[in-house]
Structure 1
Amino acid sequence: MTSRVEHTDVGAYALGLLEEEDKEAFEAHLLFCASCRSELTDLAGVAHALNGIGPVEDVAPPSPGPVVDMLQRRKAAHRRTRRGTFVIGMAAAVTLVAGGLTVGTQLTADGAPQVAQGHDDHMGPAEQFYADGKPIDGKGVDGVTGGLVVESKGWGTHAALKLAGVKGPLECELISVGKSGERRVMTGWSVPPAGYGVPGSPDPLYMHGGSATPLKDIDHFEVVTSAGKKLLTIQA
């Protein structure tokens, strides 16, 4: 399971659409991801609005609503694949609902979902949060550029990262550095050989991350490689 799929799985988990193996893997991921735990809390109300149930359960309710019934039928159709693109797409759509976007879902004549929303439907949750916020530009090395949009949460600090000008293969982490010097990993990912925001691969990378350190206690943020090289520094 990749980091991208782990974070996207919040919506699928909330609707009870994950296979048992993936469900267990995602629950293990939740132990170390404050951002996903927060989004899952928000999604409890979204799942209730969609299908009339409360917290996620392994067994579907006896009379699911039309949206959930459609999701379950689509899931069965793709059972032979480990992760159907439909499940990922719906998980992302539900995550957008949790993020406060105005989303309306209805079924088309052929039973497929039709989603209309007030924001750019080509943006993922991290990119949308970044676009709607006030980015803090970072200082990069070797042509790396990027920035953060941050917000204070009851559990700590939520951030959306934009990163460009980086080539792989690399393993990177976004780290919060407290005023006391305490360092916390907010999220991690792999950079493919093609990279992000470079010729031939012009799209930047957008990632969510969470830190238990309150925003008022953070001095700055860093993007570092697994080898310890600092690619980007962003002042809080």
Structure 2
Amino acid sequence: MTSQVEHTDVGAYALGILEEPDRTAFSNHLAACPSCTAELQELSGVAGALAGIGPLEDERDDADAGDRGPAEVVNLLRRRKAADRRARRGTFVIGAAAAVTLVAGGIAVGTSISGESGSVPVGHSAHGPAEDAYRSGTPLAGTGASGVTGGLVLETKGWGTHAALELRGVKGPLECELVAVSRSGERRVVTGWAVPERGYGVPGSPEPLYVHGGVAWGPAGIDRFEVRTTGGDTLLTVMV
């Protein structure tokens, strides 16, 4: 991440396993990214549950992971992370939290999934916050470029509008932004992300992309949302 801050690094930042240059870069990124700031708050329960679990000197093979305690599992995953820093750190951290929960046989990890409630009830969805927000609402279908499909779920907040996006049919490498366009033509970036070469919602990589973010305007003041590449191409348009 030394050359480019990744939004998916919020999980690794919450767990405290970023190397110093990456941690400093991501701290600076948080100051200008409401989406990552909100997701960091949502992951605070995971970070708290793993706090204080230190590294071990035991270097047994991965095949023995089922016999390891929580600290050993986290240490193993940290070593894997150091060996492959190109992996998506957000996915890694959620996997680490799940491994600790299973091996410990009942550690309860509670996090807020809406920013307005307490702990997550037993049996809550295993999806990420963006996918949960999308699945819980009624999507507005978008009109996409060739092969691109997707939609938005909007939620009115006291501070503006929360938007959850599902996107399919895109291949990378690309850098994209979700942009809100007001009825007067003003534009605001809601959130941004990178599309890896394998893409999302395409043959060989069928899972769609889910991202979310916020804009200060209420839905009544928004004309449309656009998914745009940093090169200026519009991939998806969602009328409000």
**Smaller-chain TM-score bracket:** 0.5 to 0.7
CA distance, structure 2, for counterparts of residue 49 and residue 120 of structure 1: 20
In structure 2, relative to structure 1, the CA distance for the partners of 1:225 and 1:43 (3 Å cut) is: closer
User: The residue matched to 1:108 in structure 2 has which SS?
Assistant: helix
Q: Provide the alpha-carbon RMSD of the alignment.
A: 4.2
1:184 aligned partner? 188
Deviations along 1:13-54, one digit per CA (max 9) or x if unpaired, are 33433332221121122122111212333444x268636x8x
Whether the 8 Å CA contact 1:17–1:72 is kept in 2: the answer is no
Identical residues among aligned pairs (%): 51
Residues 1:149 and 1:68: Cα distance change in structure 2 (over 3 Å)? farther
Q: Which residue of 1 aligns with 2:63?
A: none
Structure 2 SS opposite 1:203: coil
CA contact (8 A) 2:172 2:197 kept: yes
Contact (CA 8 Å) 2:14, 2:43: kept in 1 or not?
yes
The residue number in structure 2 matching 1:208 is 212
- Structure 1, unmatched stretches of 5+, are 54-59, 96-102
Q: Secondary structure at the residue paired with 2:101?
A: strand
Is the 1:162–1:205 Cα contact (8 Å) retained in structure 2? yes
Q: In the alignment, which residue of structure 2 is the partner of 1:36? A: 36
The amino acid that maps onto 2:94 is: A
Match of 1:127 in 2: 131
Per-residue CA shift, 1:177-219, capped at 9, x if unaligned? 1223211112223334444333444332222233333444322
TM-score, normalised with respect to structure 2:
0.66
Q: Following TM superposition, by how much is the alpha carbon of 1:136 offset from its aligned partner in structure 2, in angstroms?
A: 1.1
Choose from 84, 88, 106 the match for 2:101.
Answer: 106
Provide the rounded CA distance (Å) in 2 between the counterparts of 1:79 and 1:230. 35
Count of paired positions: 214
Where do residues 159-170 of structure 1 align in structure 2 (5 Å cutoff)? Answer: 159-170=163-174
Aligned match of 2:123: 118
**1:200 and 1:79 mapped to 2: Cα distance?**
24
More divergent stretch after superposition (209-218 vs 84-93): 84-93
Identify the residue that residue 226 of structure 1 maps to in structure 2.
230
For the residue of structure 2 that corresponds to 1:128, the secondary structure is: helix
Give the aligned residue type for 1:14.
A
Unaligned runs of 5+ in 2: 55-68, 110-120
1:50 aligns to what?
A: 49
Deviation at 1:140, TM superposition (A): 1.7
Give the deviation of 1:175 after TM superposition.
0.4
